Amino acid sequence: MEQQIIFNWIAIVFYVSSTVFFAYGVSFQREKALKPAMITALLGLIPHAISIVIRWQITGHGPYMAKYEVLSSNAWVTIFFFVMASWKIPRLRHTGLIVMPLSFLMRGCGLLTDPGIRKLPPTLKSGWLILHVVFAKVSTGAVIIALGTSVLYLLKGKKAENEFYRRLPSLEALDEFSYKFIGFGFIFWSITVAAGAIWANEAWGKYWSWDPIETWSLITWLLYGLYLHLRFFFRWKGSQAAWMLIVCFIFSAVTIFVIPFVIESLHAEYFR
């Protein structure tokens, strides 16, 4: 456990450093600060991954039991997804201004929870659970990146004459990035809900029981579906679409990070 804690705090130091570099680079229009921001984010993934593997060996199951593991693995997947996406599309680096603080908060909040070892209940021993969890985490990462591009869209729209913001992707490109990442996240969230329903039938004998988590997951899915529908059929674009995405993100954040921890449900064993 001591090794795990040490690696966790090393990761936190890297993530905080990355967040500071991103904040400095974007706030003070210093493009050069984005390179060390990306490097420290990437370096932070290494000790973070080691801490997850150590805990996995200790518990005998993946990082999806209790707040400590759930928040830690969510943060790792989000940062990994962001780093890989930014490596493929360098213009996405600026979204680190949003991605890194949110990921750091997830990891930090996880460290403040009980790190006690939890055994995997029989109801959670299912391949469908693993599919459900993995796709949920990837969907979360995609949505957070989409949030970042939407926030950058709004910032660039207000400061179009600023030299630094002129270096950002065009408003059209930022808008398109948001659309594509939400489309990706929506597909993965759909698989998350479907896999969860099959798992629920295996564990409790019915596909849907209007459990609070199920209900909020459905609301989130419908909202993102509405966002995509309005964009595709009604040609919603620009600040209108960006603000709607932010509202959708708030609902998904409540679904993933609030409801499981404050309301008793069939998922209580998973999040307790």
Give the contacts of 224 (CB within 8 A, at least 6 positions apart): 143, 182, 185, 186, 189, 248, 252
Q: C-alpha angle 144/79/8, rounded to 5°?
A: 130
- Report residue 16's pLDDT band, with 50, 70 and 90 as the boundaries: very high
pLDDT at 170: 87
Dihedral Cα 80, 85, 90, 92, nearest 10 deg = -90
**Average pLDDT, integer, range 142-166:** 83
The span from the first CA to the last CA of the chain, in angstroms, equals: 20
Closest of 42, 151, 23 to residue 86, by C-alpha = 42
Give the contacts of 94 (CB within 8 A, at least 6 positions apart): 26, 34, 148, 152, 168
pLDDT at 269: 59
The answer to whether residues 94 and 154 touch, using CB atoms and an 8 Å cutoff, is no
* Domain range summary for the chain, segments of one domain joined by +: 1-117, 121-272
Q: What is the pTM of this model?
A: 0.90
Tell me the percentage of the chain whose pLDDT exceeds 70. Answer: 93
The answer to whether residues 98 and 78 touch, using CB atoms and an 8 Å cutoff, is no
